[in-house]
Amino acid sequence: MKEITHLFQATNSKMIKGILDSGGVVIGAKAEGFTGVLLEDTEFAAELQRKVEATGAKGFISTDELPKYGISRDDKSIIEKEFEAGEKDTIIFVAAPKEEATKAMEVIEAEVEKKK
């Protein structure tokens, strides 16, 4: 898990920009061998969303769903490069106030580990 706010300083994503403008951060983690899991296992993704929301964060984004939300293909590549992701890896990240983003990512990492 690491903070990647710097990768979104010039983002076109209104959602992320709004969170950053209000003092929030973006924290992400690499889920090795997880490409497609969140898209294919909708029950797992929905449960993960509920657990993330319980931390106070509004949700998470994975590189599997990009480009979307104003995040471009180039942005996706930069994120993947930051985490040295392979083609079977997914980066999952949360934009929220720092404490909430950190708690949400702890939940995500634990749930991904259980799922592997």
pLDDT value at 21 more than 90: yes
pLDDT value at 116 more than 90: no
Amino acid at 82: E
DSSP 68: B
Instruction: State how many domains the chain has.
Output: 1
Using 50, 70 and 90 to split pLDDT, how confident is the model at 32?
very high
Distance set, CA 4 to CA 16, 42, 114 (Å): 12, 26, 24
Q: Determine the 3-state secondary structure of 47 from DSSP.
A: helix
Mean pLDDT of 13-32: 96
Q: Could you tell me the residue range of the domain that residue 42 belongs to?
A: 2-115
CATH no. for residue 22?
Answer: 3.30.1360.30
Using 50, 70 and 90 to split pLDDT, how confident is the model at 99?
very high
